[in-house]
Chains A and B, each alone.
Chain A
Amino acid sequence: MRRVSVLGRGAAVTLSALFALLLAAALPAIAQAPAADPAMKDLSMEQAQRGVNQPGNNAPVWREVRGGDKEAYASIPGREVNVLVQTEGQEWRARRNGFWSIVAGWSLVGLVIILAIAHMLLGTTHLREPETGRKIQRFTNFERWVHWSAAISFVVLATTGLIMLFGKNILLPIIGYTLFSWLAELGKILHNFLGPLFVVTIAVMIVTFVRDNIPKGYDFKWIFSLGGLIGGGHPPSGKFNGGEKIWFWGGALVMGLTVGVSGLVLDFPNFDQTRSTMQLANIVHLIATTLFMLGTMGHIYLGTLGVAGAYDGMRTGVVDETWAKEHHPYWYEDVKSGKVTAEVIDTHAATRQPASGPAD
């Protein structure tokens, strides 16, 4: 249509005849070529021409506005003030308010239900043998500090993030405008200041735990049997099992990086990033945080209700020898053989036989 109006009717007819001849002779793909080569590529030149041919017809201008590939001019200072209309916002709105928030919300609810059912069916995994009373240090104070910093900031970030996304639909009708706005403002400030802290904690955590998370051959056995869920038995593992290693690489590293980068893009608008960058960052943040929250729910479940004794390791830093032997036998062997330095404390030492010396 554009080509016809520029060339005029006579030329168009001639061209059409030529075009038909070409079509008969050449492949359709080649025949397309003349059509894809407009006389005037520049829309501003096209508008100038259009203004002569059809005064008052500003179609090329509006097409240019929509396309947004050429800078317009605005005399007032500011970021993107020369953009007359940005159409990506509608898409962002549709995705954020529609598909992705629905997926995020229901997948979180769904996992809670799945975990509840799984817990009812499988229950807590208890130790098969009685505890020895001898405790092995599993995490140093520093490691626990790092993990708790990440854990607490994650929970606050997740809660405030969910308030931002779903509070309007769930909390607002219950607590009212004023209180909800106050809560959301507090949540926003917490989210925006804790976010960068979380990124730092995650980075420190990756450095702290990377050595024990290097994948080993036996991890795959663990993963393929879902930690003994399939086929019975408890596949052995090192200090961290296959699931924990997946959580380390997929959760802490990949999700941490994705959530961190997208979050920082949104958190620091002072770097003059455009709206479309922030829209993209917001959607990435939404998807990645949902996956992160799903993973965390599984992680928290297994670390508390799912496996008895696991939480003690993170709370006190020490685990019972039996727990170590049953859940992480390779690590236990390493500790016993002195390959890995870990303090062994006999909590019954005072009431029983003289304590056997520390493993190292």
Chain B
Amino acid sequence: MARMKFLCDAERCIECNGCVTACKSEHEVPWGVNRRRVVTINDGVIGAEKSISVACMHCSDAPCMAVCPVDCFYKTEQGVVLHDKDLCIGCGYCFYACPFGAPQFPQAGAFSMRGKMDKCTFCAGGPEKDNSVEERTRYGRNRLAEGKLPACAEMCSTKALLAGDADVLSDIYRERVTRRGKGADMWGWATAYGPAPGGPKPAAPTAPAAGGTKS
């Protein structure tokens, strides 16, 4: 079965925040919770400004899963990291551990009253029955069950943000890199998915691996 991944192309992202809006609207995410965000580095510096859209990367060895004291996370056959809000106790440990700042809490109240954690589901809902009302209200729409890909990537105007089968994403990106002749920054892949198993590493004569080579 396909391994689902996100890929954001720093050469294409124009920081329009269309992905952020698409996500909020698709899942009717409450105020204060942003499952996806766009971060701009070197904002305003000509030639150095790069933007990246970031959300849960659905890591292979997910830190949130490892530190959750009640083990509320689970991984689907497609590699999507989901969680069960019935089990979540709102301790915030996943939020400490996540490198991407993906876990969100509706509150940050005194006495650590945070509410149930919420994060990007790769538009794959939660443990409830696919496309049920309960699933929709608690986790958002289950687009994968409808045969669709995540709304953020679908909405992306420059196709900087790609979501889907890792092999397909790698092929698309490899072609882009070949056409550009340079640059192979698959941002966050090393962090989220570990070192590539000798596989889809696009030809990169000059650039070091994106996001560092350490896992």
Contacts and interface: CB of A to CB of B under 8 A. Distances in A.
Interface in A279-312: 279, 282
B23 to A, nearest CB: 11
Interface stretch (A11-19, A71-79, A132-140, A332-340): A71-79
B47 A85 contact: no
A222 B88 CA distance: 50
A165 B41 contact: no
B211 interface: yes
Contacts of B210: 58, 62
Interface in B163-215: 180-183, 185, 187-188, 191, 206-208, 210-212
A172 B95 CA distance: 22
B187 to A, nearest CB: 7
A214 B49 CA distance: 62
B132 interface: no
Given A81-B101, A266-B112, A55 B182 contact: yes
Given A55-B182, A73-B40, A180 B99 contact: no
Interface string B20-48: 10000000000010100111111101111
Contacts of A141: none
Interface stretch (A88-96, A146-154, A199-207): A88-96
Contacts of B110: 267-268, 270
B54 interface: yes
B5 interface: no
B89 interface: yes
Contacts, number: 186
A57 B95 CA distance: 31
Given A56-B207, A268-B111, A270-B109, A89 B98 contact: yes
Interface string A155-191: 0000000011101100010000110110011001000
Contacts of A38: none
A192 interface: yes
A76 B183 contact: no
B208 A59 contact: yes
B40 to A, nearest CB: 4
Interface stretch (A44-52, A109-117, A229-237): A44-52
Contacts of B46: 48
Contact of A51 (B37, B47, B69, B99): B47
A86 B181 contact: no
Contacts of A193: 111
A95 B40 CA distance: 31
Contact of B41 (A61, A181, A192): A61
Contacts of B97: 89-90, 92-93
A272 B108 CA distance: 9
Contacts of B187: 62
A66 interface: yes
B48 A180 contact: no
A22 interface: no
Given A51-B48, A89-B63, A268-B111, A185 B89 contact: yes
Nearest to A185: B89
B108 A270 contact: yes
B101 A72 contact: no
A269 interface: yes
A250 B11 CA distance: 57
Contact of A83 (B39, B45, B185): B39
Contacts of B66: 93, 97
A84 to B, nearest CB: 4
Given A78-B34, A268-B112, A275-B96, A177 B101 contact: no
Nearest to B108: A269
Given A56-B180, A80-B101, A184 B111 contact: no
B42 A267 contact: no
27 contacts: A54-B206, A57-B182, A59-B207, A60-B48, A61-B42, A62-B185, A64-B41, A66-B212, A72-B39, A72-B43, A78-B32, A81-B39, A85-B99, A85-B211, A86-B101, A97-B66, A163-B69, A167-B70, A168-B70, A172-B70, A180-B70, A181-B88, A267-B110, A267-B111, A272-B108, A278-B92, A279-B96
- Give the 8 A-B CB pairs with smallest separation, nearest first: A56-B183, A56-B182, A47-B48, A48-B47, A51-B47, A73-B43, A44-B42, A181-B87
Interface of A: 43-45, 47-48, 51-52, 54-62, 64-66, 72-76, 78-87, 89-90, 92-93, 96-97, 163-165, 167-168, 172, 177-178, 180-181, 184-185, 188, 192-193, 196, 266-270, 272, 275, 278-279, 282
Given A72-B40, A164-B69, A192-B113, 5 more contacts: A48-B47, A72-B41, A93-B97, A181-B70, A185-B89
